[in-house]
Structure 1
Amino acid sequence: METELLRTFAGVARLGSFAAQARKIGVDASAVSRQVAQLEAAIGITLFERTTRRLSLTDAGRLYLERALPLLDALDEVRDEVRDVVTAPSGLLKVTTSVAFGERWLLPRLPAFRETFPKIDLDLRLTDNVVDLAGEGIDLALRLGPGVEGALVAAKLFDTRYRVVTSPDYVKRAGLPTSPAALAEHDGLVFSLPGFREGWKFRTGPGHKALVASPKPTLVISNALAIRRGCLDGLGIALLADWTIGDDLAAGTLVDLFPEFDVSASGFESAAWAVYPSRSYVPARLRVFLDHLRRSAKDL
């Protein structure tokens, strides 16, 4: 039996429709339907219940999928291991991360990687949603937070720090807040996520008591890149991660208002993590990409 039929079946099961799988692999939905029917005919089992409104796995289909997925994963690992023995790192690497982290941190580090490993193609999925790595066939995710949950392998790239920043133009217009408490008299560009709107936490060091203060939420925005843009344009004061505005601070286009404080919207412990599904063999294309990210992180 051709493994391509199994892969098509698994794709339809994961995505929930022939059309979605067809869009993913760039063929007509009728071609996907024929492949599934061919597989069903070969094994003599109905894998999907089909109605005009929905497509769902039969009990036999669920069992078949459960047993087939490890076989497909094993075949992929064998292919990668053999390829790595005889060729330089190559193939497609699927990576996902948030829109802001992808644009501000990851993308500037890709030219050097591509120059060193031209045979590795990258499929970069930028989204602020948490992606199911196994379900979407993603090789690597870059995530931000205090830690990583789930049955995944996680490697810390670097600790992150948040800074309260604004532009020199805003300081000229509205003055410089002399303390965190003075922020209440200033315009704020506030991230819409929970924690960022309720008040920012300030402390002078680990173990020290935190105080809470924040500017007036005159502009609430759901995207960190847009907050940075508004801050650069003098619209107010913002709380942004150092990886977002490191270049701006170095250039003087943004000012760190309270460099003596640790600042956070929730917990003070936060980091950037490289996360990938656990597997017995990690392909060379993923290993060299991880090495490149680790070296890049040391430059911070």
Structure 2
Amino acid sequence: MDLSLLQTFAEVARRGSFAAVAREEGVDPSSVSRRIAALEQALGFVLFERTTRRLSLTEAGRIYLDRIDAILDSLTEAADTARDMVASPSGLLRVTTSVAFGERWLTPRLAGFRAAYPAIQLEMILTDAQIDIAAEGIDVALRLGPEVRGTFVAAKLFDVRYRAVASPAYLRRNGRPETPADLAAHDGLFFSLPSYGMRWRFRRAADAAPQEVFPKPALSTNNALALRRAAQEGLGVALLADWTIQADLESGQLVDLFPDFEGSAMDFDTAVWTVYPSRAYVSARLRAFLDYIRDSV
């Protein structure tokens, strides 16, 4: 059995589309379709139910995929193990994280990583959706939030602190709030995400009772980069993660209104985590990436 046909089958099943696999490989969708047809002919049964609107596995296709998945993983692991024994880290590494974190924190560090490991090809998938990293063939995800749980290997990269910030121009027009309670009289810039609300909380210490404040809603958006830009433009006060705005605080584009307070719109104990599927063997390219970003914190 041609191994490449099995790999194509697994990719099509994972992505649910001939076209998606074709785009990734840079070939025509008909080429992928012909490979699946050749595999079906060799096996003697149909793998996919094809309609004009969707592509789905047949019952036989599901059973076959379940059986070959472990085999393909083992072959990939065997190749990685052998390659790591005779060469420096190489191959494709698929990394995913949020759009804002990828733009503000991760991308500026990739030039140094590429200089150290030129044989590693990086694919960076930036999305604010919580994708299934195992099903999507992701090597490692950088996740933001409280402690990550599940059947993955997860390690804290660094803690995240949220700060209430505004531009100097906004503060000149509206005055600087002296305490978090004063924010009730100020324009607030909010995340329009289900887990966020119009309530911000502040505390001086981890064991202190938090103060709740409700700034006046001025703008909401689902994108942290747009929220940062709105704060820079003087639209109001925003509550943003320190990794988003550290350079702005240093340059003076934004002002940390309450340096002695920790802020939150959800959970105070937030962090950035590295998350990857639990496997018996971790490739050298993944180990190199994990070590590099830990050292860059």
Q: What is the TM-score of this pair, normalised by structure 1? A: 0.95
Q: CA deviation at 1:195?
A: 5.0
Is the partner of 1:73 in helix, strand or coil? Answer: helix
Give 1:243's aligned residue. Answer: 243
Give 1:232's aligned residue. Answer: 232
Q: CA deviation at 1:150?
A: 2.4
| 1:219 matches 2:241 | no
Q: C-alpha offsets along residues 9-66 of structure 1, whole Å, 9 cap, x if unaligned? A: 1122122232332223222222222211211221222222334443322221111000
| 1:46 matches 2:46 | yes
- Quick check: 1:105–1:243 contact (8 Å CA) kept in 2? yes
Pair 1:202–1:52, CA change in 2 (3 A): closer
Identity within the alignment, %: 61
Structure 2 counterpart of 1:105, one-letter code: W
- Quick check: 1:186–1:215 contact (8 Å CA) kept in 2? yes
- Quick check: 2:188–2:237 contact (8 Å CA) kept in 1? yes
Q: CA deviation at 1:138?
A: 1.1
Is the partner of 1:136 in helix, strand or coil? Answer: coil
Is the partner of 2:296 in helix, strand or coil? Answer: helix
The alignment covers a number of residue pairs equal to 297
Give, in whole Å, the separation in 2 of the partners of 1:112 and 1:62.
42
Give 1:10's aligned residue. Answer: 10
Pair 1:12–1:232, CA change in 2 (3 A): same
Give 2:122's aligned residue. Answer: 122
Give 1:192's aligned residue. Answer: 192
Structure 1 counterpart of 2:44, one-letter code: G
Is the partner of 2:118 in helix, strand or coil? Answer: coil
Q: Which moved more, 1:140-149 or 1:42-51?
A: 42-51
Structure 1 counterpart of 2:35, one-letter code: Q
Is the partner of 1:235 in helix, strand or coil? Answer: coil
Give, in whole Å, the separation in 2 of the partners of 1:196 and 1:110.
31
Structure 2 counterpart of 1:228, one-letter code: R
Give, in whole Å, the separation in 1 of the partners of 2:178 and 2:288.
47
Is the partner of 1:275 in helix, strand or coil? Answer: strand
Q: Which moved more, 1:278-287 or 1:204-213?
A: 204-213
Is the partner of 2:141 in helix, strand or coil? Answer: strand
Q: RMSD across aligned C-alpha pairs, in angstroms?
A: 1.4
Q: How does 1:159-174 map to 2 (within 5 A)?
A: 159-174=159-174
Give 2:206's aligned residue. Answer: 206
- Quick check: 2:94–2:138 contact (8 Å CA) kept in 1? yes
Give 2:32's aligned residue. Answer: 32
Q: C-alpha offsets along residues 149-176 of structure 1, whole Å, 9 cap, x if unaligned? A: 3211111100000000111111111101
- Quick check: 1:197–1:217 contact (8 Å CA) kept in 2? no
Give 2:146's aligned residue. Answer: 146
Q: How does 1:218-297 map to 2 (within 5 A)?
A: 218-297=218-297
- Quick check: 1:8–1:36 contact (8 Å CA) kept in 2? yes
Q: C-alpha offsets along residues 220-267 of structure 1, whole Å, 9 cap, x if unaligned? A: 122111111111122211000000011111222211111111210011
Q: Which moved more, 1:161-170 or 1:204-213?
A: 204-213
Give, in whole Å, the separation in 2 of the partners of 1:87 and 1:4.
24
Q: CA deviation at 1:194?
A: 3.4
- Quick check: 1:10–1:65 contact (8 Å CA) kept in 2? yes
Pair 1:16–1:239, CA change in 2 (3 A): same
- Quick check: 1:167–1:234 contact (8 Å CA) kept in 2? yes
4+ residue segments displaced more than 6 Å? none
- Quick check: 2:190–2:220 contact (8 Å CA) kept in 1? yes
Pair 1:260–1:52, CA change in 2 (3 A): closer
Q: CA deviation at 1:294?
A: 0.6
Structure 2 counterpart of 1:169, one-letter code: A
Pair 1:52–1:124, CA change in 2 (3 A): closer
Q: Which moved more, 1:218-227 or 1:43-52?
A: 43-52
Structure 2 counterpart of 1:267, one-letter code: D
